[in-house]
Structure 1
Amino acid sequence: MDFAAAFTRDPQAAPYPVRCDATAAAVFAVLATVLALCVDDGRRPDALGWTLLLAAHVPLAWRRKAPLPVLLAVVACVAPYHGLDYMHLAPIPASMTALYTVASTGRPVRTVIVGLSVTSVTLTIQLLVNPHEIVELLRVSGWVIAMLVFGTSIRLYRQLVAGVLERAEHEAERKVSEERLRIARDLHDLLAHSITLIGVQTSVAAHVLVADPDRLDREALVQALDGIAETCREARTEVRTTLDVLRAAPEGPLPDLASLPDLVRSSGADLSVRTAAAKIPAAVGAAAYRIVQESLTNAVRHGGPGADVRVDVGLDEEVLTVRVTNGGAAPRGSSHAPQGVGGGTSGSGYGILGMRERARSVGGTLVAGPRAGGGFEVEAALPLSVRKVTV
């Protein structure tokens, strides 16, 4: 057994405590017998002395089940043993073990009370037996105090280790929760955008078929069907990539700003990127990509393929700004929050809530709501120095 693990483990939660303690008690009894026979530190035990000495070791089999009653039982046997001036060194291992168990399993107040009580009893007996042995009085008191301090130190060490382990478990649980939320956001952002585009393109194809069957626009129909097929291929590729990365590592795929042109082009929106050669952290770029993706999904879903959508990405000192406007031109360079934006989510589903969590995951903020001049606007501010935030 590892020595450090033996002190770290809760003694009352160890397997087979009675069996282990009974074995230890038998070993201490044999040691006490050897000391009583071989060491000249008092008179040799007679029948009563042997009875008291061996009886003091019996309660140790339950020392971890009932520490305080065991100590009282040991003292009840050891006190008259010492009082009759039998060999004083023999019962010391049993007495110290009982003291250690109380100190290592009890509260500090109980330990202090037990220490004072045991010291008082020990000193009283010592004064009655050897009233002139001042050095012996100090030695015995020192052993009692040292054992209590040692037991208390072990108890505090166990509490410290237990606290560290508990915090580690909570941190692991928090990381698992964050990972689940991140995967949920990735799958939502990935699939919602593709499915929305497929729905719009399918509607266009259906409209072409039923609008004027006699003058069927085959070119428009083929274009719509090709768009559906291309969107399906892209979605399948992204899902496969996501699953492959999730199987290989705890971090999922992180699309960056370089992927924005293809994303915006597929939605028919206008894009403006003003980041020059600035180095954008992967997490910030991924958050910006997913915010734009979800905003475009909502715009296409509610405004159709002909919606007037503008995406503007830029740098304001050390902050990456993302603005997606739908329905009317957004004032470029404006840094104020859109009017009428509340604290809750607009619309149905979890799109805006997910975007806010995306922004918070990198220490940023996001506001979304109707614009004063009509339409809808999403505006996010993402700091380039990523701060880990629990969402």
Structure 2
Amino acid sequence: MPGQRPFLARRLKLWELVAVDTVAAAVLLAVHISFLSVVDDSQPPFAGPLWFGWLISAVATVPVAVRRLWPVPMFAVALLGSMLATFFSATREPWIPAAAVLYVLSATNRGPVVSLVAALACTAVASVSTAIFTEQSFSDLPRDILVLVTMVMVTAWALGRWIWARRSYAATSARQLAESMVNDERLRIARELHDIVAHSMSLIAVKAGIANHVADQRPEEARDALRVIESTSRNTLNDMRRMLGVLRSDSPELAPAPGLSGLPELAERARSAGVAVTMTAPAVSLPSGVEMSVYRIVQEALTNVVKHAGPVPCTVTVTTSGQEVRITVVDSGPGGTPGSGHGLIGMRERVMMYGGEFSAGPLPTGGFAVSASLPYTAEAS
């Protein structure tokens, strides 16, 4: 049916694997039982009572059905059954049931030495039982039998170790991917919190200082500063509540991400802090992620101007050409390094996410400049 995964396209559950193994064990048991009545020139026929032949066949093959539940004990039982089947001439196959259990033993999370010793022990037991059965010395044993049994055992062991290594690599890759995703999300949340809080708190700190300085001489200007503090703090609280809602809810109501349309408001906030902002930005539509990155870069750059340059002229220019958007923020302040916080780091990380270029530093003629370019694809817009 549509929407369902094909049966073989998913990993079988344990009970499904046991069911498949049970069918395989039943087939091997039937084959072993059929060998009890086979007569050929390669070895004498089975001469014991029929019930004993059935018992030997069951001991050799039934462990295959539950090999995934108890690999080590079932391997020992299958090994014993194959040895008895060889000793009493009750089989014509190269120890396939023991090899099947050995495969699971080596494919599970056990050391390679354990499964390798099991494979060598299986080959040694095959040699001993064949020697007893044929009444020959080890030097006179039929080499084709020993080579065939050895190849079956080594192949089963090697295949099991390959499966184990593949699963181990997949699990390690999945764990590393999950850790990387968690770290990326942590950085993204940290950047958003920094951009929201740092910008607003810088404006609040500036306006609080102005209000405290002019409260006695110019109370009206102090009240204007307090109104800006009130509005900015309220907007910041709303942004914080919205972000917390996104983190707490499985299906939050998401507000539109900030973009180019919000740049004039950023400029107005900076002007309220005394920065003479000249803003040039195109009225175009870009991919939402690019627009939000442009908004955050301009926001952080203006925050640095407010905090470190003071009430100075500042020019913000945003241009688009082809499949790239460029941001330039230049102020005419003292030109020092804007602190050692996370602002410049956050801006650089946003630019690097898109494979763009970023630079920030003082100008030779005074002032400070932030420049960034973000490539984007027109199809995503």
**Both proteins in one fold, TM over 0.5:** yes
What is the DSSP-based 3-state SS (H/G/I as helix, E as strand, rest coil) of the residue aligned with 2:320? strand
From the superposition, tell whether residues 97 and 250 of structure 1 become closer, same or farther in structure 2 (CA, over 3 Å): farther
Alignment-mate amino acid for residue 358 of structure 2:
L
Query: Structure 2: how far apart are the matches of 1:252 and 1:152?
Result: 56
Q: TM-score, normalised by structure 1?
A: 0.67
From the superposition, tell whether residues 352 and 292 of structure 1 become closer, same or farther in structure 2 (CA, over 3 Å): same
Spell out the pairing of 1:1-391 with structure 2 (5 A cutoff): 4-6=12-14, 39-41=36-38, 42-45=45-48, 53=56, 78-79=82-83, 82-85=86-89, 87-88=90-91, 94-101=97-104, 104=107, 110=116, 114=120, 117=123, 121=127, 128=134, 145=151, 149=155, 152-153=158-159, 155-210=161-216, 212=217, 217-246=218-247, 247=249, 248=251, 254-268=257-271, 269-275=276-282, 277=284, 279-304=285-310, 306-327=311-332, 346-385=338-377
Query: Structure 1: how far apart are the matches of 2:101 and 2:373?
Result: 64
Q: Is the contact made by 1:36 and 1:45 (CA closer than 8 Å) also made in structure 2?
A: no
What is the DSSP-based 3-state SS (H/G/I as helix, E as strand, rest coil) of the residue aligned with 2:184? helix
Query: Structure 1: how far apart are the matches of 2:349 and 2:300?
Result: 12
Report percent identity of matched pairs: 29
**1:380 Cα shift?**
1.1
**1:260 Cα shift?**
0.4
Query: Structure 2: how far apart are the matches of 1:122 and 1:101?
Result: 24
Q: Is the contact made by 2:36 and 2:46 (CA closer than 8 Å) also made in structure 1?
A: no
**Structure 1 unmatched ranges of 5 or more:** 10-19, 131-135, 330-337, 387-391
Q: Is the contact made by 1:284 and 1:384 (CA closer than 8 Å) also made in structure 2?
A: yes
**1:270 Cα shift?**
2.3
From the superposition, tell whether residues 101 and 180 of structure 1 become closer, same or farther in structure 2 (CA, over 3 Å): closer
From the superposition, tell whether residues 266 and 174 of structure 1 become closer, same or farther in structure 2 (CA, over 3 Å): same
Q: TM-score, normalised by structure 2?
A: 0.68
CA deviations 1:104-142 (Å, max 9, x no partner) are 467599499749946983996599489xxxxx9989976
**1:290 Cα shift?**
0.9
Query: Structure 2: how far apart are the matches of 1:56 and 1:229?
Result: 84
What is the DSSP-based 3-state SS (H/G/I as helix, E as strand, rest coil) of the residue aligned with 2:290? helix
Query: Structure 1: how far apart are the matches of 2:101 and 2:199?
Result: 69
Alignment-mate amino acid for residue 37 of structure 2:
D
From the superposition, tell whether residues 40 and 141 of structure 1 become closer, same or farther in structure 2 (CA, over 3 Å): farther
**1:32 Cα shift?**
6.8
Alignment-mate amino acid for residue 326 of structure 2:
T
What is the DSSP-based 3-state SS (H/G/I as helix, E as strand, rest coil) of the residue aligned with 2:327? strand
**Structure 2 unmatched ranges of 5 or more:** 1-9, 39-44, 137-141
From the superposition, tell whether residues 125 and 207 of structure 1 become closer, same or farther in structure 2 (CA, over 3 Å): same
From the superposition, tell whether residues 232 and 73 of structure 1 become closer, same or farther in structure 2 (CA, over 3 Å): closer
Cα RMSD for the two superposed structures: 5.0
What is the DSSP-based 3-state SS (H/G/I as helix, E as strand, rest coil) of the residue aligned with 1:43? coil
CA deviations 1:300-353 (Å, max 9, x no partner) are 11233x222221111244321111112169xxxxxxxx9x9xxxx852321211
Query: Structure 2: how far apart are the matches of 1:124 and 1:252?
Result: 78
From the superposition, tell whether residues 70 and 239 of structure 1 become closer, same or farther in structure 2 (CA, over 3 Å): closer
From the superposition, tell whether residues 176 and 152 of structure 1 become closer, same or farther in structure 2 (CA, over 3 Å): same
**1:233 Cα shift?**
2.2
Name which structure has the greater RCO, CA cutoff 8 Å, separation 6+: 1
What is the DSSP-based 3-state SS (H/G/I as helix, E as strand, rest coil) of the residue aligned with 1:324? strand
CA deviations 1:48-67 (Å, max 9, x no partner) are x88x9499769x79998885
Q: 1:14: which partner in 2?
A: none
Alignment-mate amino acid for residue 227 of structure 1:
V
From the superposition, tell whether residues 101 and 238 of structure 1 become closer, same or farther in structure 2 (CA, over 3 Å): closer
Query: Structure 2: how far apart are the matches of 1:123 and 1:251?
Result: 74
CA deviations 1:197-240 (Å, max 9, x no partner) are 11111111111124x4xxxx333222222212221222122222
What is the DSSP-based 3-state SS (H/G/I as helix, E as strand, rest coil) of the residue aligned with 1:198? helix
**1:165 Cα shift?**
3.7
**1:189 Cα shift?**
0.6
